[in-house]
A = this chain, B = another copy of it.
Amino acid sequence: MTTIGDVARHAGVSRSTVSYALSGKRTISAETRERIERAVAELGFTPNAGARALKTSQTMVLGLLLQFHADEFAPAMLQYVLPVSQAARAEGYDILMVTDPDGPRAIHRIGDSDMVDGFVLLDVTADDPRIPSLREVRQPGVLIGLPRDTRELDVIDLDFGEAARMLVDHLHERGHREIVLVSPPHHVVERGGSYVWRFRDAAVERAARYGLQIHAYYGESRSPVIGQSVNALLDAHPRATALVVHNDATIAALPGILRDRGVRVPDDLSVVSLYSRDFGEEFSLPFTAVESAADELGRSGVAQLVRRITRSPDAGPPVARFVAPVLRDRGSTRPIDATRSTAH
């Protein structure tokens, strides 16, 4: 391995001069700089990351904590991973991916041994067990997803309440009077996925305000129960003219389910949903939807974390930030003529 000492010897300068030439923290004469650059190129020198980390107390690595739950639609998580990773690289950080089933312990292991400069927590729940560990550890962290107690924490999440209101408004404006809502599976509620009830409560409240009937259900995460469940809901509410789907597995399966049932969208049934652009493209989903902006959450979360790590004044006090949803109209809703009703 070639070290900074080899470069220094080769260039006939001191190690500190090489270091300064590389970091640019000192003015170096053109001639010296050139000799050093040549030596670096000839010897193929790249600074040792561990030695640098030891000296500077900066690893330039971020820990990304993923959780894989059985009974959850895994592809939905993928949409966060790539944006986080790319945003990190753009800021000069690499990603240590942590899939340990025991998240709290993993945070201590990684954090206490100074393997990373900060943490990104994905899929955060209301009383996420990883949060106490995160508070105990030296490194700052950013949460993607809203916990109950956000004190002293940088948190970012989609504004799920607003998303629900936008979708209900969209249907209300088009004259819909009776709609069915499919939320994530109930076990996600039990686990504390706050996005479930934030979306659901807001949808119910908004519907009530308009005097709009809404039938709210928890959905499924696996075929064929998904199909059975959707069919049962539509059977139970034959006069409903619209379906609001806040459930990744269900929306991915919905085109097949509706075709199977002979229901055309939007002619027989209007459908609105909530998913990220990438997810929609992956499954070729043709529905009007709020874009869940996984990339924006990932990017913005990483940016805030880096500001916190570097103690940038722009970081401000720790704060929960809610990203405004954007509705993408793909024409999967139709105006309802008050005198007609649909059978699906």
Binding site for B on A (CB under 8 A): 1, 44, 46-51, 53-54, 59, 61, 64, 68, 73-75, 78, 81-82, 85-86, 89, 94-100, 108-110, 112-115, 138, 222-224, 253, 255-257, 259-260, 278, 281-284
Check B85 against A74 for contact (C-beta < 8 Å): no
Give 15 new A-B contacts, CB below 8 A, not counting A46-B112, A64-B97, A85-B97: A46-B108, A46-B109, A46-B113, A48-B54, A49-B115, A61-B96, A73-B282, A74-B78, A75-B78, A89-B99, A95-B97, A222-B281, A253-B256, A255-B256, A256-B256
A28: shortest Cβ distance to chain B, in Å?
A: 22
CB < 8 Å neighbour of A100 from B47, B74, B89, B259: B89
Residue of B nearest to A98 (CB): B94
Check A95 against B94 for contact (C-beta < 8 Å): no
Residue of B nearest to A60 (CB): B115
CB < 8 Å neighbour of A96 from B47, B68, B78, B95: B95
Check A50 against B46 for contact (C-beta < 8 Å): no
Complex Cα–Cα for A110 and B224 (A): 44
Check B78 against A222 for contact (C-beta < 8 Å): no
Complex Cα–Cα for A23 and B267 (A): 70
CB-CB under 8 A from A281, the residues of chain B are 222
The answer to whether residues A110 and B85 also contact, given A54-B51, A74-B282, A222-B284 and a CB cut-off of 8 A, is: no
Complex Cα–Cα for A260 and B113 (A): 55
CB-CB under 8 A from A59, the residues of chain B are 50
A76: shortest Cβ distance to chain B, in Å?
A: 10
Complex Cα–Cα for A95 and B100 (A): 11
CB-CB under 8 A from A49, the residues of chain B are 113-115
CB-CB under 8 A from A50, the residues of chain B are 50-51, 53-54, 59, 114-115
14 residue pairs A–B, Cβ–Cβ below 8 Å: A46-B109, A46-B113, A48-B114, A50-B54, A61-B96, A68-B82, A74-B75, A75-B282, A94-B98, A95-B96, A95-B97, A95-B98, A97-B97, A256-B257
Residue of B nearest to A56 (CB): B50
Complex Cα–Cα for A183 and B284 (A): 20
Check B47 against A224 for contact (C-beta < 8 Å): no
